[in-house]
Amino acid sequence: MTDSARAAAPAATLDIEVGSAQDPYNREHQIFPELSDEQLARAKGYGTEESPEAGTYLFERGERGVDFFICLEGAIEIIETSEEGEEVVTVHGPSQFTGELDLFNDRKILVDGRVREGTRVLRIKRADFPVFSSTETDIGETIMRAFILRRTAFLVHDQAGAVLAGPANDGDTLRITRFLRRNGYPLRVVDTDDPEQAEPFFADHPTARDKVPVLIHAGNDCLVNPSNHQVANALGLTEELDPDHVYDVAVVGAGPAGLAAATYAASEGLDTVVIEQEAPGGQAGTSSKIENYLGFPTGISGQALAGRAWIQAQKFGARFAISRAIVDLDCDERPYKLQLECGQRIVARSVIVASGARYQRLSLDNYERYEGQGIHYAATAIESRLCHGREVIVVGGGNSAGQAAVFLSRHASHVHVLVRSKTLAASMSDYLVRRIDSSSRITLHTETEIVELHGDPTLDRVTWHDKASGEDETRDIANIFVMIGAAPNSDWLDGCLELDGKGFVKTGEDCAGNVTSSPYATSRPGIYAVGDVRSGSVKRVASGVGEGSVVIQTVHGYLAGLDD
Integer Cα distance of 392 and 154 in angstroms:
32
Judge contact between 552 and 261, C-beta under 8 A: yes
* DSSP label of 76: E
Domain identity same for 404 and 477: yes
CATH assignment at residue 203: 3.40.30.10
Integer Cα distance of 59 and 43 in angstroms:
20
Average pLDDT over residues 197-208: 90
| Highest mean predicted confidence (pLDDT) among 115-124, 215-224, 451-460 | 115-124
Res. 54: pLDDT tops 60: yes
Express each pLDDT in 69-86 by its tens digit. 999 999 999 999 876 778
132 within a domain of the structure (yes/no): yes
Average pLDDT over residues 536-541: 90
Integer Cα distance of 134 and 113 in angstroms:
24
Q: What percent of the chain has pLDDT over 90?
A: 79
33 within a domain of the structure (yes/no): yes
Domain identity same for 281 and 175: no
Express each pLDDT in 345-366 by its tens digit. 999 999 999 999 998 999 999 9
Among residues 235, 262, 277, the one where a domain terminates is 235
- What angle, rounded to 10 degrees, do the helices at 430-438 and 399-408 form? 30
Res. 425: pLDDT tops 90: no
Res. 12: pLDDT tops 70: no
Amino acid 13: pLDDT = 45
Candidate from 10-24, 388-402, 413-427 with smallest mean pLDDT = 10-24
408 within a domain of the structure (yes/no): yes
Domain identity same for 59 and 175: no
Domain identity same for 464 and 423: yes
3-state secondary structure 297-338: CCCECHHHHHHHHHHHHHHCCCEEEECCCEEEEECCCCCEEE
State the pLDDT confidence band at 2, using cuts at 50, 70 and 90.
very low
Amino acid 17: pLDDT = 81
Integer Cα distance of 76 and 502 in angstroms:
57
88 within a domain of the structure (yes/no): yes
489 versus 372: the higher-pLDDT residue is 489
Amino acid 283: pLDDT = 86
Domain identity same for 395 and 255: no
Average pLDDT over residues 318-329: 92
State the pLDDT confidence band at 11, using cuts at 50, 70 and 90.
very low
State the pLDDT confidence band at 382, using cuts at 50, 70 and 90.
confident
Number of domains, the chain: 4
241 within a domain of the structure (yes/no): no
Amino acid 497: pLDDT = 94
CATH assignment at residue 408: 3.50.50.60
State the pLDDT confidence band at 221, using cuts at 50, 70 and 90.
confident
Domain identity same for 377 and 339: no
Average pLDDT over residues 179-198: 94
Domain identity same for 467 and 536: no
Integer Cα distance of 13 and 23 in angstroms:
9
Candidate from 1-10, 45-54, 323-332, 444-453 with smallest mean pLDDT = 1-10
* Mean pLDDT of the residues in the chain: 92
Among residues 453, 482, 511, the one where a domain terminates is 482
CATH assignment at residue 66: 2.60.120.10
Q: What percent of the chain has pLDDT over 70?
A: 97
Express each pLDDT in 466-487 by its tens digit. 999 999 999 999 999 999 988 9
Among residues 138, 157, 176, the one where a domain terminates is 157
Integer Cα distance of 208 and 215 in angstroms:
10
Which residues constitute the domain of residue 220?
A: 162-235
Average pLDDT over residues 393-409: 95
Domain identity same for 257 and 318: yes
199 within a domain of the structure (yes/no): yes
240 within a domain of the structure (yes/no): no
Domain identity same for 216 and 106: no
* DSSP label of 476: -
Express each pLDDT in 236-261 by its tens digit. 998 888 989 999 999 999 999 999 99
State the pLDDT confidence band at 15, using cuts at 50, 70 and 90.
low
Domain identity same for 17 and 145: yes
Domain identity same for 151 and 21: yes
Res. 14: pLDDT tops 80: no
Res. 452: pLDDT tops 70: yes
State the sign of the Cα–Cα–Cα–Cα dihedral 241, 324, 134, 31.
Answer: positive
Res. 230: pLDDT tops 60: yes
Integer Cα distance of 47 and 27 in angstroms:
28
Integer Cα distance of 292 and 288 in angstroms:
13
74 within a domain of the structure (yes/no): yes
Amino acid 220: pLDDT = 67
Beta-carbon contacts of 458 under 8 Å, excluding residues fewer than 6 positions away, are 169, 370, 373, 374, 478
Domain identity same for 59 and 97: yes
